[in-house]
């Protein structure tokens, strides 16, 4: 059995509020693959700025930001932003560098990877509350349409995509019926799920849990837990650790 060199191991902290859903899967994966990082949870409270500024002098490998409120607060602390973080206006990974801290936002990259793996899709319909920070993850699709209660919110979401990709905004189930028939991918973000829109040829990527009866109406289903696995894998890649999503148990 190979003995780990703990002198070369650097800490990676998972900052969260309340109960962490990321800490245990990250810890288990790091131990299983013998990564030179020591992962532990932390709740920075009102001291996020001091905690992030201390990463470099304390020799940390980085900080994972699980809570959405922390992801937004970190924008005012990091010295530089990767393009995904700059557009989404949030940060889920902070890495200390000689010139300061760098902020990443990996969740849209995880969504892109998930779609490439499971959905041989061309046209997508987004159902539920729009999440503008994830729009970048849809850029591999030919056309994206939205069903949401607010037409301006839907328009704002589509404007984040290149113009050739912009589909239509449906503000009611009746308006979405024709759009759903042309789509081959459904991205469900929560809220009411109109079962009448679902077709046997649809792949459904669920960012939130779906009703059990929906699973009998579609061709393929990707669970929120699977999306979380892809997100956790994406979080470790900027640190130089490329692990398959299947590594993570959530």
- Chain segment 60-118, per-residue pLDDT in tens: 999 999 999 999 999 999 999 999 999 999 999 999 999 999 999 999 999 999 999 99
Contact 71, 83 (CB under 8 A): no
Q: Give residue 9's pLDDT.
A: 86
CA 214 from centre of chain: 23
Rg (CA), the chain: 19
Query: Domains (ranges, CATH) in the chain?
Result: 6-105 (3.40.50.10860), 109-226 (3.40.50.720)
Contact 133, 105 (CB under 8 A): yes
Q: Give residue 2's pLDDT.
A: 47
- In the sheet that 185-188 helps form, which strands lie side by side, from edge to edge? 166-170, 143-147, 123-127, 185-188, 203-206, 220-222
Q: Give residue 246's pLDDT.
A: 97
Q: CB-side exposure of 147: number of CA atoms within 13 Å?
A: 25
Q: Give residue 41's pLDDT.
A: 97
CB atoms within 10 A of CB 104: 25
Positions of the chain with pLDDT lower than 50, given as ranges:
1-4, 6-7
Q: Give residue 106's pLDDT.
A: 98
Q: Give residue 84's pLDDT.
A: 96
Contacts of 102 (CB under 8 A, 6+ apart): 78, 79, 80, 81, 82, 94, 95, 96
Q: Give residue 1's pLDDT.
A: 41
pTM, full prediction: 0.94
Burial call 183-192: b when 16+ CB within 10 Å, e when fewer = bbbbbbbeee
Q: Give residue 6's pLDDT.
A: 47
């Amino acid at each position: 059995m190979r003995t780990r060199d703990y002198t070369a191991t650097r800490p990676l902290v998972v900052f969260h509020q309340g109960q962490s859903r990321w800490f245990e899967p990250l810890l288990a994966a790091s131990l299983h693959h013998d990564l030179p990082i020591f992962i532990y949870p932390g709740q920075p409270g009102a001291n996020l700025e001091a905690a992030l500024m201390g990463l470099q002098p304390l020799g940390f490998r980085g900080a994972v930001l699980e809570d959405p409120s922390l992801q937004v607060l970190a924008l005012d602390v990091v010295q530089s932003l990767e393009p995904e973080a700059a557009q989404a206006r949030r940060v889920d990974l902070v890495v200390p560098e000689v010139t300061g801290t760098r902020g990443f936002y990996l969740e849209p990259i995880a969504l892109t990877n998930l779609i490439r793996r499971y959905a041989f899709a061309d046209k997508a319909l987004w159902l539920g509350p729009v999440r503008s920070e994830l729009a970048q993850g849809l850029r591999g699709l030919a056309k994206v349409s939205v069903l949401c209660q607010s037409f301006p919110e839907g328009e704002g979401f589509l404007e984040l995509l290149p113009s050739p990709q912009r589909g239509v905004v449906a503000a009611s189930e009746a308006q979405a019926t024709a759009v759903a028939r042309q789509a081959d991918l459904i991205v469900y973000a929560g809220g009411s799920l109109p079962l009448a829109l679902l077709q046997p040829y649809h792949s459904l990527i669920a960012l939130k849990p779906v009703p059990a009866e929906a699973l009998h109406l579609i061709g393929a289903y990707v669970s929120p837990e699977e999306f979380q696995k892809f997100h956790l894998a994406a979080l470790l890649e900027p640190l130089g650790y490329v692990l398959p999503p299947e590594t993570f148990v959530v």
